[in-house]
Structure 1
Amino acid sequence: MSDSGIKDSHYDLCVIGSGPAGMMVALEYARKCPDQRVLLAEFGAIHGTGQNRLDDRIDNKNPRNHHDPYECTNKGLGGTSITWGGRCVMYDEVDFEDRPIVRGGCTWDQALFSEVKGYQARASGYFECGEGPFSLGEMAAHKDSRVAEYFVEGEVSDSTVERWSMPTRFGPRYRAEIEETTNLDLLCGAEARRIGAVDSAGQIDEIEFRMSSNGESVTIRASAFVIAAGTQESTRLLLRNAHVFKQLGGTPAALGKYYQGHVSGKIASVRFKGDPKRTDYGFLRDPDGSYYRRRFRLSDECLRRENLLNTAIWLDNPLYHDPAHGSGAMSMMYLAMITPVLGKRLAPPAIANSVTKGKVNKVPQHLVNVLRGLPGSLWTPASVFYRRYLLKRKLPGIFLYNPENRYALHFHAEQVPDPENRMSLADDGETLEIRYDLSDDDVDSVIRNHEILDDWLRQCGCGELEYWFPREELPDAIRTMSRDGIHQSGTTRIADHSADGVVDRDLRVWGTRNLYVCSSSVFPTSSQANPTYFLGCFAIRLADHLMNSHAKR
């Protein structure tokens, strides 16, 4: 409902930000505590916001490696799920170990990991990504299956899976439930501006919002507040309200620092030696219709021994923009993506860029591929369009069979928690400056992960890697192709002490009693995993904590 429709100015819980995390906290708490009043406040409009003052006041210092805000975040009911692809991935045990490669940046532990994983089933319910585990080894139907003929699991695993959410846009999916939950109010067009004073017990009683419709201020009082506005805006709000930390004697040193995403791209293909029809290149499906897919990953033991960053590598299509792939279907889809109006409807900017690389490249050669591949050049894209856009359970992606048993490899790698990668306020106190770069360790670890995968495939007699660049050119190639800003984490990290982080294990802001952050900004390490699903587990855990700690009895 609109700002004029809120029933109270005082709530038991106020959640700032209506992305998946904020929505899950608000719904879980409201359902479990029907006598409690909950407010879900969102900066954007119900149906999303185009140009806005928050994104206009972001200064991206490295556009080569970091997407601009309009390409990687969204304002509106559902938050950035408005353009989310739906990939759900679980973190790994090694992500919670303070390995030398992360330079003391791992400020959470495996006990916390085990606890948060206990909320997996409830999180999967919201994401509707299937009830199964994130390992094929735990699934009877696939326990002994392999990615390709002759593959043996050991130093390298092919059993880790990514699952896919059915509601990739949480706003349309959960709007009706929000409106039907009588003790939950929705306030849209509201920017959280001023956090109230902190008393001697660390209590905060109010937050002031500015309404985008008329510029007026609305003060909301609550027993507890959750900042779930995404990494950029959660960090900016805390930076702008440094008085929140007065009980600590100053702002935590970690606030805004250790910003991470993922190093991502393609530098090689794999050529399997076995029967191409036995290669598991595409999607698998649960009985309920949910999709999941294999990923290569080095074992935790190998990562520890080699001191490497956690990295997932999966089978992919060749580069769409290069007509040398010879596929009429791929050329047709590429041409559709570079068509100005159609391309914007088919995929959000960051995903479209991953396909086109921002290039209008060799159109005549692509047309030749289309003509040579008829009628499949038209039939395959049409089939994909139907399954991807017209069905309720949408096809998450497109992976094409290769009769030569050769597939591109897409890598998705953890980054070192580097304090030089950071978000900070400019001199105007409003503009958020983002400094983000790739370290030598980030790049070198990607290369070494590929080398170990290649060695293992050769040792198994399963296949081998074919690099797209000479060995000496790989570092520059990775630095040129990798661009993130989509998977933001690290700037309000969890730690057991305020000297090391911004929030405690319960996501409570250090120095306060009732202010929390529920954003992937609390993740100290970025893993190989997309953060949305695991953040959903944290969101449900936080709702339970709030129910036990703050709900009136």
Structure 2
Amino acid sequence: MLLTDDAEAYDLCVIGSGPAGIILALDYARLNPHKKVLLVEYGIKQQVKENQLDSSIQINNPVNHHQPYECTNKGLGGTSATWGGRCVMYDEVDFEDRPILNGNCTWDKNILTDIKDHLPKAAEYFECGKPDFDVAALTNVTPRPIAEGFKQGIVTDTMLERYSMPTRFGDRYATEIAAQQNITLIEGFEARDFEQPNAKSKVSFLTLQHVATQKQVIVTADKFVLAAGAQESTRILLRNPQLFKNVGCVPAALGKYYQGHLSGKIASVQFYGDPKKTDYGFIKDSDGVYTRRRFQFNNKFLKDNNLLNTALWLDNPLYFDPKHRSGAMSFMYLAMITPVLGKKLAPPAIAHSITKGRINNIPAHLGNIARGAPRSFTKPAAIFYKRYISKRKLPGVFLYSPKNTYALHFHAEQIPFEENRMRLAPDGERLIVDYKLTDADVASVIKLHEVLDNWLRTIHCGELKYWFDKDELPQAIKNMSKDGLHQCGTTRISNSAEKGVVDTNLKVWGTSNIYVCSSSVFPTSGQANPTFMLGAFAVRLSRYLSYTEKKSKKTFKTQFQGVKSIDLN
């Protein structure tokens, strides 16, 4: 495909072809068959791992933040290429300002109400079944508590996480993108410089740079959407301060209030009842979609006690510790730490969550395998088929405990902390990421474990067994929590440029036609990973641009700098 001097302007230019970019481009193109859409992707087919963008990111806290190559992927489909498929819904409390957030919840429940209308369409794109996130919605399952004797109260057990195929958006939607006649996909281009907004705050031109040749092309569009992921969408805005000329200055929030999640295990839960009545693993809904239950906390309780939203779920003991005495777990652990093979079994961040980067007591693991044979091999073989061969992949591996004892995995909200930020280095190109966990983040995790423990004891259902002494818990949590996968906050939604970067329709303050569709617009991180919610925002933005944005009928010509035409094939 060629872009030439005679190319017409696009009605919509989408920068980035991850799940958000693909959903937005496809949905808008289908709703507006006479509108032209340009989808711009930095990566190319057979993209090599090393690339200029990720190599120019500096992480200042590698203990708690993954390196760029572990967080993102370049190429059509973006990070969905290594996504685990977990689809989770945000909660009402995530849209309510609480003292612990220090006034930094800059969206409200009106957005949640609005976004719910777009969940079914988002679920279609993610292939995760109906967007029902409560176990009561599973018509094929007889309702029962997560463990014998559990009762609802300040702790709940009804919320579900749902699982996509996992859908690799590049592979899944490449054919549909190619067949959509009003979508033009170009690969191997970086978004560089926007034109300064005119008196009406409109931006007409964007300079793209061909990654391989460094040649530049100016593209004209009626609307532009940054859907390049949190790091790159933020970097593009930081590099284009002229966009904010009409609001007087660059928004103070740009690049700041970066959040992810605290995640790890500090305790096990010992249930008192029949172990065969514990829902420890996956539940398939009537459509064959995998779901799983989570412990969460009543919204009112979180607000009244000024605590951060947190989910906990039943998990396996630590794989690297052979004291679990499971031959199957030891076999899978050794496979995961085996060079070459381990990299094929799971992406780096997921592999790290299993192995913790440790090679530990291999003889004891071999002993577990020998004692557990033949199930040490047959169980992993069955899991391998379901996880790697079946069309709908088994999302994970959770093993039954005859002792009714399970590790507890916590996944907790972070405070929107101003010093957690993305910023440009003095060269104006490199992106520096400052990130740390606050004492308040950690204290909330510990307190909510205590709440769960007290609740289980009160209802005579079970109790928690901590893995660390009480005074060791804060440092243990800080040592084990590592994110950078769930990037929120750096271009946050707000009702004014004084508080945020985009308005409630995701339009960049100071412009009339530039938008951001990235989890970076989420002012709070909640307990949920942001992928599914972002897909719903992409559908919402598509509908907004289609039905409520003013339609420009002008035709512009694409202009070029330094190159007559560029072969994009």
Question: TM-score normalized by structure 1?
Answer: 0.98
For the residue of structure 1 that corresponds to 2:286, the secondary structure is: coil
Give the aligned partner of residue 485 of structure 2. 486
Tell me the alpha carbon deviations over residues 116-161 of structure 1, each in whole angstroms, 9 at most, x when there is no partner. 1111101000011011510113444557411000000111000010
Which whole-Å CA distance do the structure 2 matches of 1:214 and 1:119 have between them?
40
Q: Which amino acid aligns with 2:184?
A: D
The CA distance in 2 between the partners of 1:143 and 1:280, in whole Å, is 12
1:318 corresponding residue in structure 2: 317
What SS class does the counterpart of residue 543 from structure 2 fall into?
Answer: helix
Match of 2:276 in 1: 277
Q: Is the aligned partner of 1:403 residue 2:415?
A: no
What does the per-residue CA deviation read over 1:448-488, in whole Å, with 9 as the maximum and x for residues that have no partner?
A: 11000000111111100000000010000000000000000
Q: Does 1:501 align with 2:500?
A: yes
**Partner of residue 193, structure 1:** 192
In 2, Cα distance between the equivalents of 1:256 and 1:363?
44
| 1:545 pairs with 2:544 | yes
The within-5 A match list for 1:121-520 is 121-142=120-141, 144-520=143-519
Q: Which amino acid aligns with 1:211?
A: H
The one-letter code sitting in structure 2 at the alignment partner of 1:291 is Y
User: What SS does structure 1 have at the residue aligned with 2:529?
Assistant: coil
Determine whether 1:531 maps to 2:530: yes
Q: CA deviation at 1:46?
A: 3.1
Q: Is the 8 A contact 2:140 2:286 kept in 1?
A: no
Q: 1:336 to 1:224 in 2, by over 3 A?
A: same
The residue identity in structure 2 corresponding to 1:474 is L
Q: Distance in 2 between matches of 1:155 and 1:190?
A: 50
Partner of 1:65: 64
The answer to whether the Cα contact below 8 Å between 2:139 and 2:285 also exists between their aligned partners in 1 is no
State the 4+ residue runs in structure 1 displaced beyond 2 angstroms: 2-9, 46-49, 137-144, 550-553
Please report how far the alpha carbon of residue 168 of structure 1 lies from its aligned counterpart in structure 2 after TM superposition.
Answer: 3.0
Shift of 1:8: 3.3
CA 1:470–1:464 in structure 2 vs 1: closer, same or farther (change >3 Å)?
A: same
Give unmatched runs, 5+ long, in structure 2.
554-569
Aligned residue for 2:340, secondary structure, equals: helix
Over residues 176-197 of structure 1, what are the superposed CA-to-partner deviations in whole Å (9 max), with x where a residue is unaligned? 0000001001010000011112
Distance in 2 between residues matched to 1:131 and 1:342, nearest whole Å: 35
> Any conservation in 2 of the 1:224–1:550 contact (CA below 8 Å)?
no
SS of 1:340's partner is coil
Which position in structure 1 is the counterpart of 2:53? 54
Give the direction of change, closer, same or farther, for the CA distance of 1:6–1:391 in structure 2 (3 Å limit): farther
Matched residues in 2 for 1:124 and 1:370: separation?
40
Distance 1:124 1:5 in 2: 38
Distance 2:236 2:255 in 1: 11
Question: In structure 2, how many angstroms separate the alpha carbons of the residues matched to 1:347 and 1:6?
Answer: 45
CA RMSD of aligned residues (A): 1.3
Q: Is the 8 A contact 2:268 2:408 kept in 1?
A: yes
Q: 2: distance between equivalents of 1:388 and 1:551?
A: 46
Q: Which amino acid aligns with 2:229?
A: G
**1:213 Cα deviation (Å)?**
2.3
Work out the CA distance in 1 between the residues paired with 2:409 and 2:101. Answer: 23
Distance 1:200 1:4, change over 3 A: closer
Which has the larger displacement, 404-413 or 166-175? 166-175
Counting only pairs closer than 5 Å after superposition, residues 17-96 of structure 1 correspond to structure 2 as 17-96=16-95
Measured in 2, the distance between the counterparts of 1:328 and 1:381 equals 10
Give the whole-Å Cα distance in 2 for the aligned partners of 1:27 and 1:48: 23
Which SS does the other structure have where 1:233 is aligned?
helix
3-state SS of paired residue (1:292): strand
- Code of the aligned partner of 2:128: C
| Amino acid corresponding to residue 213 of structure 1 in structure 2 | A
The 5-angstrom pairing of residues 109-124 of structure 1 reads: 109-124=108-123
Change (3 A) 1:372 1:9: farther
Question: How far is the alpha carbon of 1:287 from its aligned partner?
Answer: 1.8
Moved more, 138-147 or 126-135: 138-147
CA displacement at 1:372 relative to structure 2: 0.6
Q: Is the 8 A contact 2:123 2:131 kept in 1?
A: no
Deviation digits for residues 315-351 of structure 1, max 9, x if unmatched?
0000001111100000000000000110000000000
Return the letter of the residue paired with 2:515.
Answer: Y
Cα deviation for residue 302 of structure 1 reads 1.1
Tell me, yes or no, if the aligned pair for 1:166 and 1:394 is still in contact at 8 Å: yes
Shift of 1:47: 4.1
Deviates more, 1:409-418 or 1:165-174: 165-174
Change (3 A) 1:200 1:444: same
Letter in 2 for 1:40: L
Residue 141 and residue 152 in structure 1: after superposition, are their counterparts in 2 closer, same or farther (change >3 A)?
Answer: farther
Q: Tell me: CA distance 1:6–1:135, structure 2 relative to 1, closer, same or farther (3 Å).
A: farther
Q: How many residues align structurally?
A: 552
SS of residue paired to 2:158: strand
Unaligned runs of 5+ in 1: none
Deviation (angstroms), 1:522:
0.1
Aligned counterparts of 1:482 and 1:51: Cα–Cα separation in 2: 26
Structure 1 Cα separation of the partners of residues 131 and 250 of structure 2: 42
Map Cα deviations across residues 55-97 of structure 1 (whole Å, 9 max, x no partner).
1111100000000000111111001111110100000000000
- 1:23-53 CA-partner distances (Å, limit 9, x unpaired): 0000000001000000110001134441000
Correspondence for 2:557: none
**Cα deviation 1:499-531 (Å, max 9, x = unaligned):** 000000000000000000000000000000000
* More off after superposition, 212-221 vs 368-377: 212-221
CA–CA distance in structure 2, aligned partners of residues 20 and 552 of structure 1: 27
Q: Note the C-alpha offset of 1:4.
A: 5.8
* Residues 1:4 and 1:51: Cα distance change in structure 2 (over 3 Å): farther
Look up the equivalent residue of 2:529 and give its one-letter code: N
Q: Distance in 1 between the 2:501 and 2:391 partners?
A: 40
Match of 1:247, SS? Answer: helix
- CA drift at 1:306: 1.3
**8 Å contact 1:20–1:81 — kept in the other structure?**
yes
Matched residues in 2 for 1:215 and 1:293: separation? 47
Task: Report the Cα offset of residue 7 of structure 1.
Answer: 9.0
Contact 1:3 1:188 in 2 (8 A): no
- Alpha-carbon offset, residue 167 of structure 1: 3.9
